[in-house]
Amino acid sequence: MVVYSRDELKQFEMSQRWSDTDHPGLRYFIGDVRDLSRLTRAMEGVDTVVHAAALKQVVAAEYNPFEFIQTNVIGANNVVTAALQAGVRRVIALSTDKAAAPVNLYGATKLCSDKIFVAANNIRGSRDVRFSVVRYGNVLGSRGSVIPYFLKRRNTGVLPITHPDMTRFNILLDEGVEMVLWALTHGDGGEVFVPKIPSYRIMDVARAIGPDCEYPVVGIRPGEKVHEEMITSSDSHNTVDLGAYFAILSGAGRDVAAYAERTGARFVEPGFAYNSGTNDTFLSIEQIRKLVQMHVEAQAEG
């Protein structure tokens, strides 16, 4: 197993818990997805790649667009090239709901990345390699997200709200990992897999974390949406329901009917869209509070 990233501090912290001495099959490589030669070297002898490297802050992307393009787009293409050269057999790329009908630069770069990985299946030739994408919403308590920000600010008595009607999809880290493993096992290549997950209202998050706080409305930041989408209505004719997940099958030459028949999937209704504001399932204030206590505060204390 190779851990490849440019964050030497995280790698050091990981090595304190999982050392390569105790785990001789584990290696830590410092490198960047922008560096094709280093990336190719890191993939030597590797069967499976999970591509999670990205620049992700929406506001930073609006200010530094080409930096995001170099990592999220050119870096994605480097991952495909390196995987083909190194003989990798399975590649899963992590995406985001912001890649669906993007209104910000970050989402646009991730949409480009999704297209690169889907299209990579067209150039694999006789190689036994499959490229698929998993797209999901906000990971509960992830770095830079709203929940750690609210937890940090709640003692001030003020939790700023960008828009009182804002909603987001929510997924737990373990659920995201489980989805990646499922996609590695079941993916044919060329799918964009989307999980069925609940939404939350930003006002409910604020009330769950700081029930006695004030909630001044400060306005939407550059590039933000009020609601997020993971499947647009334009994708409905290429989308099937697999049970726990949807699959968008937009690759060139894909026989969607044959895929549905083989997997037992059913087509979604024409015009179907998967939107955080019209989702069937929303977390309650109490559910949010319990999830934060279990998965964010408990981990921080540990």
Active-site positions?
98
Q: Give the integer Cα–Cα distance in Å for 162 and 224.
A: 9
Q: What is the largest CA-CA distance in the chain?
A: 62
Q: How far does Cα 297 stand from its chain's mean position?
A: 22
Q: Give the integer Cα–Cα distance in Å for 104 and 232.
A: 16
3-state secondary structure of 44: coil
